[in-house]
């Protein structure tokens, strides 16, 4: 509960924290408190017992108090807060829309003593879209949790018995389609490409269960070429690194959809490994733009949950790419203009060009 005492130059808000251990709220060695101060550097934060006093300009104090209230609500709901939660909560409060505790509070999976939750607004929208649609495309830069959250939703669906199987697939650009796999030797050959999917699975499930579920076919990790000719029923299917599919592969994959199946396709259009030609992911965004039950979730540098520098690296590259694209468009336009001028200079006007256009059909 916060109370205001207005002074001419500064406002003070006092927040009594009930029902929450202060160490959970402020973190070991006050790490979360330091993070809180970083979000609102102009506000003085004083903690005495279970009372937090915030002093500073009225607007800043109000924002800091709203942040504290949200952190208290999340802690009270059993959310073990980390520094990223403080940063993300402050960001979410900057937007009109759902409250941080609504965005960051959803538990997708509890596994090995950890709870997997969305960590940003974009991740929450992505997870909600997966819940609500049959086919979801998660498109955005590296490190935004596209694969991780798709897999968490897959494991959740299996645990809730909404599906019978999980299928994880990737286009194996360098080997998969060219080597020609034999089922018996699959694991040996595909490991390097599918390794990240195994690793994420092992983070989300008891590592002892994973081989058992794979042996029984409940979980299948296979190159995209293995989907050809099949109908995928009662499954949760994740196609990862979809920027490396050709348009034909993407169509082949999407048309495998059977009853009771959900598909999540993840990719980053800026990270294509294909030597040439169009990306199936780029094409599909235009082809399936406006179909009910198919959703395109866009993640951005704001959703990067790796080191905060990764978000800035992503932005810097986007800016560089935009400049290059603009420069290329300018060059093409100049060349086209020069071409046209040359054509005009080289061509004597014909009789049709001198004739008035009106009346021609």
Q: Which is nearer to ligand ATP, 70 or 268 (CB)?
A: 268
CA distance 105 to 336: 54
Question: Shortest approach of ligand ATP to residue 44 CB, angstroms?
Answer: 32
Q: Figure out which of the listed residues 126, 137, 148, 193 binds ligand ATP, where binding follows CB under 6 A.
A: 148
Q: What DSSP string runs through 24-52?
A: HHH-GGGHHHHHHHHHSTTSEEEEETTEE
- 142 binds ligand ATP per the rule CB under 6 A: yes
CA distance 102 to 93: 11
Partners of residue 220 on adjacent β-strands: 167
Q: Are 294 and 257 in contact (CB under 8 A)?
A: no
* Residue at token pair 């603009």: 326
Q: Figure out which of the listed residues 122, 145, 176, 223 binds ligand ATP, where binding follows CB under 6 A.
A: 145
- 156 binds ligand ATP per the rule CB under 6 A: no
x/- contact string, 276-315, with ligand ATP (CB under 6 A)?
A: -----------------------------xx---------
In the region spanning residues 116 to 135, those forming contacts with ligand ATP, defined by CB under 6 A, are 116, 118-119, 123
Question: Shortest approach of ligand ATP to residue 147 CB, angstroms?
Answer: 4
Residues in the interface with ligand ATP (CB under 6 A) total: 16
Query: Of 16-24, 139-147, 180-188, 249-257, which part binds ligand ATP (CB under 6 A)?
Result: 139-147
H helix intervals, 52-174 = 58-76, 83-93, 100-104, 121-132, 146-159
Q: Tell me 144's DSSP state.
A: S
Question: Shortest approach of ligand ATP to residue 344 CB, angstroms?
Answer: 48
- 147 binds ligand ATP per the rule CB under 6 A: yes
Q: Which is nearer to ligand ATP, 196 or 247 (CB)?
A: 196
Residue 358: CB atoms within 10 Å:
5
Phi, psi values for residue 222, rounded to 5°: -150, 155
- What residues line the site for ligand ATP (CB under 6 A)? 116, 118-119, 123, 142-149, 266, 268, 305-306
């Amino acid at each position: 509960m916060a109370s205001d005492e207005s002074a001419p130059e500064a406002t003070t808000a006092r927040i009594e924290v009930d029902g929450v251990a202060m160490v959970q709220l402020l973190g070991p060695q006050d790490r979360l408190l330091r993070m809180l101060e970083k979000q609102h550097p102009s506000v003085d934060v004083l903690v005495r017992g279970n009372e937090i006093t915030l002093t500073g300009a009225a607007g800043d104090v109000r924002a800091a108090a709203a942040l504290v209230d949200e952190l208290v609500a999340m802690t009270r709901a059993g959310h073990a807060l980390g520094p990223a939660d403080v940063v993300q909560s402050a960001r979410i409060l900057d937007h009109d829309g759902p409250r941080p505790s609504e965005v960051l509070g959803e538990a997708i999976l509890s596994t090995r003593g950890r709870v997997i939750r969305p960590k940003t607004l974009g991740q929450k929208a992505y997870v909600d879209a997966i819940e609500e649609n049959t086919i979801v495309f998660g498109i955005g830069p590296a490190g935004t949790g596209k694969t991780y959250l798709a897999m968490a939703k897959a494991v959740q669906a299996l645990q809730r018995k909404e599906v019978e199987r999980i299928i994880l697939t990737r286009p194996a650009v360098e080997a998969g389609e060219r080597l020609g796999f034999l089922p018996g030797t699959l694991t040996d050959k595909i490991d390097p490409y599918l390794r990240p999917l195994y690793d994420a699975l092992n983070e989300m499930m008891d590592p002892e269960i994973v081989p058992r579920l794979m042996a029984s076919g409940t979980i299948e990790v296979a190159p995209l070429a293995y989907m050809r000719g099949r109908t995928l029923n009662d499954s949760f299917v994740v196609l990862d690194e979809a920027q490396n599919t050709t348009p034909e592969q993407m169509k082949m994959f999407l048309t495998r959809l059977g009853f009771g199946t959900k598909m999540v396709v993840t990719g980053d259009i800026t990270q294509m490994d294909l030597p040439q030609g169009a990306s199936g992911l780029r094409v599909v965004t235009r082809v399936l733009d406006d179909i009910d039950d198919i959703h395109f979730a866009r993640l951005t540098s704001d959703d990067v949950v790796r080191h905060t520098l990764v978000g800035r690296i992503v932005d810097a590259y986007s800016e560089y790419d935009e400049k290059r694209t603009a420069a290329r468009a300018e060059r093409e336009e100049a060349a086209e203009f020069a071409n046209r001028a040359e054509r005009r200079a080289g061509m004597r006007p014909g009789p049709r060009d001198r004739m008035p256009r009106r009346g021609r059909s």
